[in-house]
Structure 1
Amino acid sequence: MRSVFETPADAALALLNSGQAFTRKAGSFLGQVVVDDTPLSPKQREWLVTLLERAGQPPLTIGEDR
């Protein structure tokens, strides 16, 4: 298992591949993070961090989003 995720896209892809059940909204958000290289807003980053925590996944690194 990873110790941290270096990019939001890596984290989102890991969540989608984890087998966890996500709401349609969360799944759509994660898919968008994987394919869109636009930097995350602070609120989007917070949501991704929350999803990682709930799934028991490693955290994001601190710093740049992409």
Structure 2
Amino acid sequence: MSKAPFATHREAALALLNGGYRASRKAGQFLGQLAVDPSPMSAAQTDWLAKLLDKAGLPPLAEGGAQ
């Protein structure tokens, strides 16, 4: 059974930050920004977040969740 996709980029970022997953300083700064900034993500940010979620074995961001 797979988990449901994250509804927002904030939820995804907080799951990565609170889940004890290893992240570089740059990735941590990026995730911290996503957790507090509700602005829509760029295509590059959306791609990076997707890669971080995949690497951690977490569900993807839902369609429209980057908005």
Unaligned runs of 5+ in 1: none
Within the alignment, does 1:3 sit opposite 2:4 as a pair? yes
Q: How many residues align?
A: 66
Residue 65 of structure 1 aligns to a residue whose secondary structure is coil
1:55 is aligned to 56
Aligned residue runs from structure 1 range 1-66, under 5 A: 2-66=3-67
TM-score computed with the length of structure 2 as normaliser: 0.91
Relative to 1, partners in 2 of residues 1:7 and 1:64: Cα closer, same or farther, differing over 3 Å? Answer: closer
Q: Percent identity?
A: 50
Q: Post-superposition shift, 1:7? A: 0.3
How well do the aligned residues superpose, as a CA RMSD in angstroms? Answer: 1.3
Runs of 4+ in 1 over 6 A off after TM superposition: none
TM-score computed with the length of structure 1 as normaliser: 0.92
Contact 2:9 2:65 in 1 (8 A): no
Q: Post-superposition shift, 1:3? A: 1.4
